[in-house]
Amino acid sequence: MRESDKHDVDSAPVVDRREFLKISGAVVVGIGVGNIAAGQAQGGLQRGLVSGPPDPAAIDSYLAVHANNTASIYLGYVDLGQGGPTALCQVAADELDLDFTQVSIVRNDTFMSTNGFTAASRTAGIGGVETRVAAAEARRVLLGLASERLNAPVQELTVAKGVVSVKIAPQRSVTYGELLGDKPFNRKFEPVRFNQLGEAMPRTGADIAPLKPSSEYRIVGTRVPRPDMLDKVRGTYEYMQHVRVPGMLHGRVVWPQGQVAGAVSPPKVVGIDESSIKDIPGVRIVRRQNFVGVVAEREWDAVRASRQLKVTWEAFPAVLPGHEGIHDSFRQATTRDIVVFNSGDANAAFNQPGLRVASATYRGPYEAHGTMAPNCALADIKADSATVTSSSQSLFQIRDTVAQLTGVPADKVRVQYYPGSNTYGLSCYTDVAEAAAIMSKEIGTPVRVQLSRQDEFGWDNYGPAHLADMRGAVDANGKLVAFEYQAWGYDGNGVGTASRLLALGVPQGGGRGSAGGAAAGPGGGASGVAQGGNLVGGLYQIRISQNDMYDVPSRRLIEHRLDGRGYLKLGPLRAPLDPPYFFAQEGMIDELAHLAKLDPWEFRKRNISNPRWLGVLEAAANAAKWTPRVAASNVSSARVVTGRGIAVGTHHLHPNQGDRVTFAAAVVEVEVNKDNGRVIAKHVYGAMDCGLAINPGIVESQIVGMSVHGTSLALKEELQFSQTNVTSLDWNSYQTLRCGEAPDVTPIVVQRLNEKSTGAGEEVLPAVVGAIGNAFFDATGVRLRQFPLTPRRVLATLKSAGA
Amino acid sequence: MAELQLQVNGKRSTLNVDPATPLLYVLTDDLALKGPRFGCGLGQCGCCSVLADGLEIRSCITPVSRVAGKSLTTLEGLPAYYAARMKVTPAPELHPLQQAMIAEQAVQCGYCYNGQIIKGAELLFKTPQPTEAQIRTAMNGHICRCGTYPRIVAAIHRAAKEMAEANRA
């Protein structure tokens, strides 16, 4: 790897051979396709390296065809470890009539890629559409060229593996590479535009290339193995954490141990005792206002200097409610109350005679992203240009924030993607890229900053705590009559990133809008959306308000929005707010089923008419060999008892994802030990209908991962904080599910070849959390309405119920 | 600073380092290895695991001076170490567990897989036919936030089976 090239703006793009390795079935042989790497480099050069995003109406912005008859795609969706780009290669290969092995993705780079924002299950749902349309347009151009070359009308041509031939005279043929190899298309087309809901708008022009019908898919819908796995198992995959450049120094930040209420009072440095690190030669301290970092030639010197450096901070304000007091503090807070939805007359509906009514309060905690790899970034800030490597979900957002912090014009900032570990939303990748930029600018050399585990946990953008007052009514026939959801939560994030808070001294953005606000960038209309925004506001204008999950005549949704500025950094965390939402909703549905003396699946069947919701419920229930009975009808006095729960789930996005809805359901079997309070999920059956599953194998992998992650949320994860600081700083003080207690998982993909792909990375997660809550009730006859279901909480709940 | 001799993946290197430096930084910065990687620096997660004389250790909390004289194996060197220890010729490109991880399509982000494979390989050396409970106990100290545990367990079962079949053949 040419390390020196990586930070030279004028150099060839960094291409990564591993992207082009393909695993053939179960036979593990690395086929190093070096000529593809060479072709890609040429493709990039021929198109030129210019600050993006590129013209969304130009074919050359999306893909290039190389002389060796392969293609590269330049889409801005990154691989967060979940395999999304593999699916995009499948889409491109199918539409271009290439083999999967003939298509690869260029490393994401703001000087090469389109402006994708890899979040919220957008890769398949939006990136897939962009890929398919651009590939179809490219194929049309290539067929036009072939028609001239072969002197035959387009309709008499056929294509296989990038070889165009005359149907009745196959010996007359030409390859894509011969037609256009490494030359630009120079062709505009009408790109797909997406409305605020993320729905693809119909294209208006008559001159558009037709898309293949699903009956002609050859690669889409099949289980292509992920091409990244070989390098990942043999230790040759290059993560962000591995990137090094010549002349680079190692940097570490010195932030307060555990985030404080930064929006109330940004941390202030009172003094730095430089003598505290005098035994470590060559370390330099970087300070910009209250941002403190250390840099050193050797990484270990930077690490120990960051631990050893004595920084005195002004006393932190003791204003946090503590993790135990968070929900009570919601009740006492001043809120902005909004009736988001009110259908029918809920009050009158609840007062009808003959109904069974249930009401209860459900609670969910703050949670951390808990990335396996604390975030890392490398920045080389020069006077008039900058290069940054980052594992951000939005490279253009990193470009803009680095430009603001360093004064380098945005179009002179080049950001390249290297994968980190899983992120599952806004972990500290922006914070660390900014830290690297601040330190490189001060020191004048490239600086690589690796956050510590404590930095990452302590300054994460947490998934916010949630409080839900639920009320529901059911009639004598087991039909839902009225449903009310009152939600308490923060109205966004008022802190921004740690680096900005410390270096600029002011909280960012006000009550709403979070660190990701600048994501779209100019020209990013095709694929950029602002990240963050108000996490609570709008989130609940969801299925409860659209009559396609439960059929309820009267429903009401009220939000009690708290000013978020006083508390902690918040940010989207895989299926933002859906776990507490579905824990509450599906818990209340279960309570109503129990009041109606109906089996929980039967109750859902009576109250759902949309066949796709019914489809995933049936798939999960059948896999679990569900036999009908009322919940908690088998409660025993044994000390270790078992139960099962069922729930639906999806991912709610703001702006509401419109027709990009994925349907999920889960059945979970649990074991509850009444002596030690331990709950173990023994088996999760997770079913998902994400429309057309481009790669059912990858979707199954996602279901497995979400089932385990959901179990971890339901049983383990809870951020701890005192009145002044976050105190969950490592894997002991932030618990996560481990192998010993992991459930077996049966993943079920409900394939819908003729429906649009809607995303598959988030939706089973909340269903699992809901199903575990319901399974606990089935096992014990006691409802625990706060997750995680920790031993302490379980024992207290069982004790107060006399069970 | 002191001169230290390290043996990693069968190769000897002489290094001039602070003997208190955690082994991880020597492996990643001085020897440019990509298998062991930083996850917590606290010995809690297992991303940094390597084998020292065949036993799994956490390189992020092990001073480099403590492993001088030991034979270290990182993920990169695992197939060769396996071949030498199990007397398999020619040495396979991958350890059976690496093969099994691909066959199960277990990996997602893969960041923890250095440790998952190193620990799983250690288990299979010690206990060639582990039970489900033995696997779960052995792997409990290796966190995977992608939630791939069920497939890791399946891959270890698969590798054990394939190693047994290879032995018979």
If you measure CA to CA, which chain A residue comes closest to B149?
A: A739
Are A731 and B45 inside 8 Å of each other by CB? yes
What is the Cβ-side half-sphere exposure of residue A60, based on CA atoms within 13 angstroms?
20
Of B74, B103, B122, which marks where a domain is finished? Answer: B74
Helix (H) or strand (E) holding A165: strand A163-166
Using the Cβ of A303 and the Cβ atoms of chain B, whether some distance falls under 8 Å is answered with: yes
State whether B93 and A233 contact (CB < 8 Å).
no
CATH topology of domain A322-368+461-492+534-800: Aldehyde Oxidoreductase; domain 4 (3.30.365)
Domain edge (last residue) among B29, B53, B74: B74
Inter-chain residue contact A744 with B145, CB threshold 8 Å: no
**Interface contact A173, partner B, CB < 8 A:** no
Residues 715..774 of A with a Cβ closer than 8 Å to B: which? 730-732, 736-740, 742-745
Q: Are residues B18 and B40 in the same domain?
A: yes
CB contact under 8 A, B39 and A420: no
The yes-or-no verdict on residue A39 having pLDDT over 50 is no
Mean pLDDT of the A81-108 span: 91
Q: How far apart are CA A730 and CA B41, in angstroms?
A: 10
Do B99 and B34 fall within a single domain?
no
Q: Are A490 and A350 in contact (CB under 8 A)?
A: no
Task: Kindly state whether residues B62 and B94 are assigned to the same domain.
Answer: no
Cβ pair B94:A242 closer than 8 A: no
- Per the CB < 8 A criterion, the answer to whether A264 and A295 are in contact is no
Poorest-pLDDT segment among A3-7, A386-390, A680-684, A727-731: A3-7
Residue A512 sits at the vertex; the CA angle it makes with A511 and A517, to the nearest 5 degrees, is 140
Name which of A346-350, A379-383, A648-652 the model is least confident about.
A648-652
Task: Select the residue from B105, B157, B158 to test the A interface by mutation, using most A Cβ atoms within 10 A.
Answer: B105
pLDDT band at A803 (very low <50, low <70, confident <90, very high): confident
- Judge if B45 and B113 occupy the same domain: no
Q: Considering only alpha carbons, which residue of chain A is nearest residue B35? A: A235
Token look-up 């779209």 returns A520
Over residues B132-168, the pLDDT tens digits come to: 999 999 999 999 999 999 999 999 999 999 999 988 8
Of the candidates A28, A298, A705, which has its C-beta nearest B148's C-beta? A705
Classify A159 as helix, strand or coil. Answer: strand
Average pLDDT score over residue span B106-131: 98
Pairwise CB contact (< 8 Å): B25 & A422 = no
- Please list every residue in chain A whose beta carbon sits closer than 8 Å to the beta carbon of residue B44: 453, 730-732
Q: With contacts defined as CB-CB under 8 Å, which chain B residues touch A82?
A: 108-109, 146
Would you state the structure tokens that stand for residue A264, as one six-digit string? 């109330």
State how many domains chain B has.
Answer: 2
Give contacts of A26 with chain B, Cβ < 8 Å.
102-103
| Residue tagged 């383990």 (tokens) | A716
Is A235's CB within 8 Å of B137's CB? no
Is the Cβ of A458 closer than 8 Å to some Cβ of chain B? no
Question: Cβ–Cβ of A372/B117 closer than 8 Å?
Answer: no
Residue A306 distance to chain B (closest CA, Å): 13
Radius of gyration of chain B (CA): 16
pLDDT at A282: 93
What the block records as the tokens of B59 is 């390189």
Residue % of chain A over a pLDDT of 90 = 66
Report how far residue A426's alpha carbon sits from residue A683's, in angstroms, rounded to the nearest whole number. Answer: 30
The last residue of one of the domains, among B27, B54, B74, is: B74
Residue A564 predicted with pLDDT over 90 = no
Surface of A (405-434) touching B: CB under 8 A: 419-422, 424
- Residue A171 gets the label, from left (phi > 0), alpha (psi -120 to 50) or beta, of alpha
Q: Which residues 190-229 of A are in CB contact (within 8 Å) with B? A: 225-226, 228-229
- Burial A146-156, CB ≥16 within 10 A → b, else e: bbeebebeeee
A501 lies within 8 A of chain B by CB? no
List the domain boundaries for chain A.
3-237, 268-315, 322-368+461-492+534-800
Which CATH number belongs to the domain containing residue B54 in this structure?
3.10.20.30
Q: Rounded mean pLDDT of chain A? A: 86
Least CA distance to B60: which residue of chain A? A300
Q: Is the pLDDT of residue A28 over 80?
A: no
Q: Are strands A386-390 and A376-381 parallel, antiparallel or unpaired?
A: antiparallel
CATH of the domain at B116: 1.10.150.120
Of the candidates B21, B38, B139, the beta carbon closest to that of A241 is on B38
Same domain, B54 and B110: no
Determine, for residues A233 and B149 on separate chains, whether the beta-carbon distance falls below 8 Å: no
CB-nearest partner of B38 from A229, A232, A450: A450
ipTM of the complex: 0.98
Do B68 and B150 reside in the same domain of the chain?
A: no
Q: Taking CB atoms and an 8 Å cutoff, what residues of chain A touch B146?
A: 81-82, 372, 422, 705, 709
Q: Which pLDDT tens digit goes with each residue over A113-126? A: 877 766 666 777 78
Interface of A with B in 75-94 (CB under 8 A): 80-83
Establish if A234 touches chain B: CB-CB under 8 angstroms: yes
Residue B18 to residue A300, Cβ atoms within 8 A: yes
Which residues of chain A does B123 touch, with a Cβ-Cβ cutoff of 8 Å?
Answer: none
User: Does A298 contact B29 at a Cβ distance shorter than 8 Å?
Assistant: yes
Residues 6+ apart with CB under 8 A from A565: A263, A264, A494, A495, A507, A510, A511
- Give the domain extent around B59: 2-74
pLDDT of residue A124: 76
Euclidean distance between CA atoms A248 and A550, whole angstroms: 57
Note whether B136 contacts A740, CB cutoff 8 Å: yes
Interface contact A235-B143, CB threshold 8 A: no
pLDDT digits (tens, 9 = 90+) for A474-525: 999 999 999 998 988 876 655 688 898 888 876 654 333 332 222 222 222 2
Q: What is the pLDDT of residue A658?
A: 56
Q: Do B145 and A83 touch (CB under 8 A)?
A: no
Which one of B41, B94, B152 has the shortest CB-CB distance to A739? Answer: B152
CB contact under 8 A, B150 and A704: yes
**What is the reported pLDDT for A565?**
56
Please report the pLDDT score of residue A492 as a whole number: 60
Any idea which residue has 């109250």 for tokens?
A607
Contact A154, A147 (CB under 8 A): yes
From A28, which residue of chain B is nearest by alpha-carbon distance?
A: B99
Structure tokens at A48: 């030129």
User: Closest residue of B to A239, CA-based?
Assistant: B111
pLDDT for B66 equals 97
Q: How do residues A647-680 score in pLDDT, each as one tens digit?
A: 999 886 443 445 668 899 999 999 999 999 999 9
> Scanning every residue of chain A, which has its alpha carbon at the shortest distance from the alpha carbon of B23?
A300
CA dihedral A627, A630, A634, A637 (to 10 degrees): 150
Would you call A233 and B117 a contact, using CB atoms and an 8 Å cutoff? yes
- B75: distance to nearest CA of chain A, Å? 6
Please state, for a pLDDT cut of 70, what percent of chain A lies above it: 85
Dig out the tokens for A486 from the structure.
Answer: 């009152």
- Yes or no: say if A54 and A120 are a contact pair by the CB < 8 Å rule: no
Q: What average pLDDT does the segment A735-759 reach?
A: 95
**Pick from A778, A752, A761, A660: nearest CA to A707:** A761
Taking residues A584-609, what's their average pLDDT? 96
pLDDT digits (tens, 9 = 90+) for B41-86: 999 999 999 999 999 999 999 999 999 999 999 999 999 999 999 9
pLDDT tier for residue A42 given thresholds of 50, 70 and 90: very low
Predicted local distance difference test score (pLDDT) of residue A477: 96
Which pLDDT belongs to residue A779? 98
Query: Under a CB-based contact definition with an 8 Å cutoff, are residues B81 and A235 in contact?
Result: no
Give the residue carrying structure tokens 């010993």. A740
Instruction: Give B22's contacts in chain A (Cβ within 8 Å).
Output: 300
Mean per-residue pLDDT, A752-778: 94
When comparing pLDDT for A50 and A451, which is higher?
A451
Q: Mark whether B84 and B105 lie in a shared domain.
A: yes
The domain A3-237 is classified under which CATH number: 3.30.70.330, 3.40.50.300, 3.20.20.140, 3.30.365.10?
Answer: 3.30.365.10
Instruction: Convert the pLDDT of each residue in A186-195 to its tens digit.
Output: 999 998 888 7
Segment A601-611 mean pLDDT: 94
Rounded to the nearest angstrom, the minimum Cα separation between A640 and chain B is 19
Q: Which amino acid is at A657?
A: Q
pLDDT of A35: 27
The alpha-carbon gap from B41 to the nearest alpha carbon of chain A, in Å, equals 7
* Residues B30 and B112 grouped into a single domain: no
Predicted local confidence at residue A404, as pLDDT: 94
> A23-27, A184-188, A356-360: which has the minimum mean pLDDT?
A23-27
Six-digit token string for B160: 């054990």
CB count in 10 Å sphere of residue B94: 21
Task: Say if A299 is an interface residue toward chain B (CB within 8 Å).
Answer: yes
Among A98, A42, A752, A76, residue whose Cα is nearest residue A417: A76
Of A23, A298, A704, the CB nearest to B151: A704
| Residue type at position A17 | R
CB A55 within 8 A of CB A49: no
User: What is the structure's pLDDT at A566?
Assistant: 55
pLDDT tens figures, A422-436: 999 889 999 999 999
Contact across the interface for B110 and A81, Cβ inside 8 Å: yes
Supply the pLDDT for residue A84. 83
Residue A393 has pLDDT above 90, yes or no: no
CB-CB neighbors (< 8 A) of A240 in chain B: none
Asked which of A49-53, A398-402, A683-687 is least confident by mean pLDDT, the reply is A49-53
The predicted structure's pLDDT at residue A494: 57
* Mean pLDDT to the nearest integer, A91-96: 95
Q: Find the CB nearest A233 among B42, B74, B94.
A: B94
Q: Flag if A82 and B108 touch (Cβ within 8 Å).
A: yes
